[in-house]
Amino acid sequence: MSDAASILPAAEIKACCAELYASDAVRLLVGESLHPGGTALTTHLAELMGITSDSTVLDVACGKGVSAVHLAQTVGCRVVGVDYSAANVAAARQAAEAYGVDVRCTFVEGDAESLALGDHSVDAVICECALCTFPNKPTAVAEFARVLRPGGHVGITDVTSTGNLPGLEGLLAWIACIADARSVDEYQELLHGAAFHTDVIEDHRNAVIRLIDTVRVRLVIGNAVLSPAAVEAAGWDPRQAGAMAEAAVNAVRSGDLGYALITAHLP
């Protein structure tokens, strides 16, 4: 665990990340889906998990509902989205209504470490680029297992890190809350600790490079994308964006930073 994650209270970490992902500044920088691979990777994840129109899916840390709405539209499944941010929940409800899938989407404010769902109440759980931000990861994964029906599947896509990310803390930790990202092996251990059996592991580090390129371009043009006040509040120096992005790409190529997809099931 990083120094920041070990020093800050859990509630403060949750509030910080929730506020961050709800902000217009981050949406402008990284896009609507807020995770590498976007909805294309969400579709791939759902296919690997066997999600169908008969499935009830829990989207943990659903943000503004992009993935939930996408799955409801393309697969026809029922989706329950949970997010720590009230602003995100409100935006997700509006999005579902705007796209005509509000009858299949339910969004509630809640904590991934204490889900307000009944035992064995969903067929699948997805958690995209969010487990790395949860202060108590074992508790969150145990909650995934609790709400899943026997034989249910969990699908995770998340930032992976060796913990060696010099020069990247200010940019990527702010944008993606990667300060407590783990290795693929550690994510697997978390799942196994909750009785999950791993099915698929895929390396999607190229999605991180594409996201970094997007962030670099949008930061370079600075004031055309973000207001000066937003840039100042984030503590960025747009002139350093190119050097930061290059360092991030090098970290991906060296294996210190990556992005993994993991699916698992309960027996």
Taking residues 154-169, report their average pLDDT.
Answer: 80
CA distance 141 to 149: 14
Residue 240 has pLDDT above 60, yes or no: no
CA distance 44 to 39: 9
Give the tens place of pLDDT for each residue, 183-213.
999 999 999 999 999 999 999 998 878 777 6
Taking residues 210-239, report their average pLDDT.
Answer: 59
pLDDT reported for residue 1: 40
Query: CA triplet 87, 207, 28: central angle to 5 degrees?
Result: 35
| Average pLDDT in the chain | 82
Strand partners, 198: 264
Residue 142 has pLDDT above 60, yes or no: yes
The answer to whether the CB of 67 falls within 8 A of the CB of 58 is no
pLDDT band at 256 (very low <50, low <70, confident <90, very high): confident
Taking residues 139-144, report their average pLDDT.
Answer: 98
CA gyration radius, the chain: 18
Taking residues 255-261, report their average pLDDT.
Answer: 90
Cβ atoms within 10 Å, residue 205: 17
Query: pTM, whole model, 2 decimals?
Result: 0.81
The candidate with the shortest Cα–Cα distance to 138, out of 83, 191, 70, 61, is 191
Domain coordinates of the chain in residue numbers? 3-204+255-265
Give the tens place of pLDDT for each residue, 18-76.
555 555 555 555 545 557 889 999 999 999 999 999 999 999 999 999 999 999 999 99
pLDDT reported for residue 2: 42
User: Among 76-80, 81-85, 235-239, which stretch is predicted with the lowest mean pLDDT?
Assistant: 235-239
Class of domain 3-204+255-265: alpha beta
Q: Which two tokens stand for residue 135?
A: 């202060």
Helix, strand, or coil (residue 200): strand
Residues 6+ apart with CB under 8 A from 97: none
Cβ atoms within 10 Å, residue 12: 11
CA distance 86 to 109: 6
pLDDT reported for residue 188: 97
The candidate with the shortest Cα–Cα distance to 214, out of 257, 172, 260, 254, is 172
